Amino acid sequence: MFEDEDMPVDDAPHDVGDGAPRQSYNFAPGYYGVVYRADVPDWGAGTRREHGAGSSKSRTLKPSVAVEEQEEHQQEQEEASRPEDAEAATAELEAHETHYKLQSMKWGLVPFWTKRDPGYGSLLKTINCRDDSLATQGGMWSTMKARKRCIVVAQGFYEWLKVGGPSSKEKIPHYVKRKDGKLMCFAGLWDCVRYENKGKDGEVDGEPEKHYTYTVITTDSNKQLKFLHDRMPVIMDPGSEAIRTWLDPKRAEWSKELQELLKPYEGELEVYPVSKEVGKVGHNSPSFIVPVASKENKNNIANFFAKGADKKKAAEKVKPEVEVEVKKEDGGEEKKETKTVDKLKEEEDENDKKGSMLSSPPPKRGVKRESSFSLPEKSEPPAKKTMASPPSSATNSKRQTRGKISATSNPERSPAKKGAKADGSQKITKFFGNSA
């Protein structure tokens, strides 16, 4: 990716082995990361430094030394550099083409004058370097800012947003990356230190091993990240003139031009909340850079309901198809056609509709239909019955042995009334008179 941005890479570390850079979605202080810098000696750009030269006081400095003593030590080193060394180094730089390389270094800068491993607690204090601390003369960053500048390579970075008021401890992690997908190039400083390896007798045992470390320079946040934090890393565009100026090995002294490069990023960034799992040391997962509210996030509760809706939509879109044999009316050969189930059902409904129209044609309008029922010329009285007709259902089975009682005649149960006819019938007016 660097070569595509016209950033030459003449050397790079191995992917595996001791000191190999570590690829992690939860990168912590003390991990080995990738640094891009000019291929210069361990003393940095410009003239050679006589490390350990000067008074005995400078040779016994410890990590906890005061800032004033550090400045004195650095001044003594400046005085120890001979003019002929500076001229030779300048001539060598001008005669040779500058080469650049990727190098594996530990995050958390350890100054070169440190004699023993300072431990994890000290690394935490030097993972970042404020840009305003470089604007003043002297200080612990004096030598590094002048001769040992680098670019720290990353895909993005995390920042935690405090929520719930000043007394709240709740923080929501956010991931920040370039919107164009390019690599992040943070301005940084590096150094090389050798710890003294002392044996049981207190004497230095063998050649001390080199340790390369780095720090990331921070500045004020831009408008886009103000809501998140008041500080952000100094971000430079890959292949930009700013990077070439920052890494130029011919610039062996701190200048106003270099200081002005340390400013808030003016490009567009993408920032969004991510899983809180990233805050747990040792956890590592690609899901840490996936937005919480995205479809790719399996822990998003909204996706649980969305999946059911998607499956339903997919089922509606997919119509099952079947093969049917269609025979031509002219006696031709049968051929197979593929139709969906919905199409077959639609044709079946249409055929049923046509069949019902042919078998039950609607009656013609305007023609009065004559009734097939006619009254007899002379009404005959009902015949005497002793047994009703057979019942039409099982519920009337109890009535099979009972006779049907006439409303106007019942000769078996009552004697003939006065004025009744011989055949047992009587006038209807007489029936109502007797009832009264």
pLDDT at 46: 81
pLDDT surpassing 60 at residue 83: no
pLDDT surpassing 90 at residue 259: yes
Contact call for residues 383 and 406 (beta carbons, < 8 A) = no
pLDDT surpassing 50 at residue 32: yes
Q: What is the mean pLDDT of residues 182-192?
A: 97
Q: What is the mean pLDDT of residues 347-375?
A: 57
Higher pLDDT, 155 or 379: 155
pLDDT at 132: 95
pLDDT at 351: 72
Closest CA to 188 of 213, 211, 210: 213
User: What DSSP string describes 180-207?
Assistant: T-PPEEEEEEEEEEE---B-TTSSB-SP
Q: What is the mean pLDDT of residues 358-381?
A: 51
pLDDT surpassing 70 at residue 224: yes
- CATH architecture observed for domain 3-273: Alpha-Beta Complex (3.90)
Collect all residues with Cβ–Cβ distance below 8 Å to 22 and sequence separation of at least 6: 31, 32, 33
C-alpha 102/C-alpha 434 separation (Å) is 130
C-alpha 190/C-alpha 107 separation (Å) is 9
Of 158-167, 222-231, 266-275, 326-335, the poorest mean pLDDT is in: 326-335
Q: Quickly tell me which residue has 């404020």 as its tokens.
A: 130
Q: pLDDT-based confidence at 399, cuts 50/70/90?
A: very low
Q: What is the mean pLDDT of residues 204-231?
A: 91
Q: Where are the domains of the chain?
A: 3-273
Higher pLDDT, 236 or 56: 236
Q: Considering Cα of 71, then 74, then 80, then 81, what sign does the dihedral take? A: negative
Consecutive H or E run containing 33: strand 32-38
pLDDT at 386: 45
pLDDT at 202: 57
pLDDT surpassing 60 at residue 62: no
Q: pLDDT-based confidence at 320, cuts 50/70/90?
A: low
User: What DSSP string describes 299-319?
Assistant: T-HHHHHHHHHHHHHHHHH--
Q: pLDDT-based confidence at 97, cuts 50/70/90?
A: confident
User: What DSSP string describes 208-219?
Assistant: PPEEEEEEEEEE
pLDDT (tens digit per residue) in 379-393: 555 555 444 444 444
Contact call for residues 117 and 66 (beta carbons, < 8 A) = no
Which tokens belong to 216? 């990331």
Q: What pTM was estimated for this model as a whole? A: 0.61
For the chain, percent helix, then strand, then coil, each to nearest 5? 30, 20, 55
pLDDT surpassing 90 at residue 361: no
pLDDT at 368: 53
pLDDT at 299: 58
Query: What average pLDDT does the chain have?
Result: 75
C-alpha 306/C-alpha 291 separation (Å) is 16
C-alpha 134/C-alpha 199 separation (Å) is 38
pLDDT surpassing 60 at residue 131: yes
Collect all residues with Cβ–Cβ distance below 8 Å to 222 and sequence separation of at least 6: 232, 264, 265, 266
Please tell me whether residue 59 adopts helix, strand or coil conformation: helix
Q: pLDDT-based confidence at 79, cuts 50/70/90?
A: very low
Higher pLDDT, 202 or 225: 225
Closest CA to 175 of 158, 152, 151, 154: 158
Closest CA to 219 of 203, 205, 230: 230
Environment class of residue 112 by beta-carbon count within 10 Å: exposed (0-12), middle (13-18) or buried (19+)?
A: buried
Contact call for residues 28 and 108 (beta carbons, < 8 A) = no
Count of CA atoms in the C-beta half-sphere (13 A) of 409: 15
